[in-house]
């Protein structure tokens, strides 16, 4: 199995980098983890809806081009399905068993994901109705993937 984390932007904060590295190390016991990133666009403070759409489309084209085509694509989407940790573990197991052993989790930039990326997804996952910084979302996602592997292997951690 291989987990791909595809995202917009560069993470500069050491505390995020350290947390990401720690969870990637923990996950490596169960699966290979690869990271793919694309440049984000600066959004002016008073950007029009049209400019925001153009920025999402530009970031989306970049993101779409790096998503491994041979993977099951899971986008993080506020309109997606909300799952508990146990349900996410089951979903990952089902994907691995019935769909594909390569899963790409896709995180958009500060404006979200383009329609092209959203429409190419195999599954839409929502972590919360709350908004999180997209850089923090990578840490949260990796922690939940690690938790899912622990659950699926009947190992303690998730309680």
> Model confidence over 78-115: pLDDT tens digits?
999 999 999 999 999 999 987 778 999 999 998 999 99
Average pLDDT score over residue span 126-142: 91
Topology, domain 2-152? Alpha/beta knot (3.40.1280)
Tokens of 117: 């990326």
Tokens of 107: 């995180």
> Model confidence over 5-38: pLDDT tens digits?
999 999 999 999 999 999 999 999 999 999 999 9
Q: 134, 36, 20: which is closest to 77 by C-alpha?
A: 134
Domain-wise residue ranges, the chain: 2-152
> Model confidence over 58-82: pLDDT tens digits?
999 999 999 998 999 999 999 999 9
Supply the pTM of this predicted model: 0.94
Grade residue 158 by pLDDT with cuts at 50, 70 and 90.
Answer: low
């Amino acid at each position: 199995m291989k987990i791909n984390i595809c995202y917009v932007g560069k993470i500069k904060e050491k505390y995020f980098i350290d947390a990401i590295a720690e969870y990637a190390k923990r996950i490596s016991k169960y699966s290979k983890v690869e990271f793919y990133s694309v440049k984000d666009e600066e959004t002016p403070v008073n950007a029009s809806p049209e400019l925001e759409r153009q920025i999402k489309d530009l970031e989306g084209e970049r993101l779409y081009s790096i998503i491994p085509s041979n993977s099951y694509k899971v986008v993080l989407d506020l309109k997606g399905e909300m799952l508990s940790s146990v349900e996410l573990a089951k979903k990952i197991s089902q994907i691995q068993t019935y769909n594909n052993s390569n899963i790409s989790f896709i995180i958009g930039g500060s404006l979200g994901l383009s329609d092209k990326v959203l429409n190419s997804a195999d599954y839409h996952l929502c972590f919360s109705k709350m908004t999180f910084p997209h850089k923090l979302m990578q840490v949260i996602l990796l922690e939940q993937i690690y938790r899912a592997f622990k659950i699926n292997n009947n190992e303690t951690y998730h309680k």
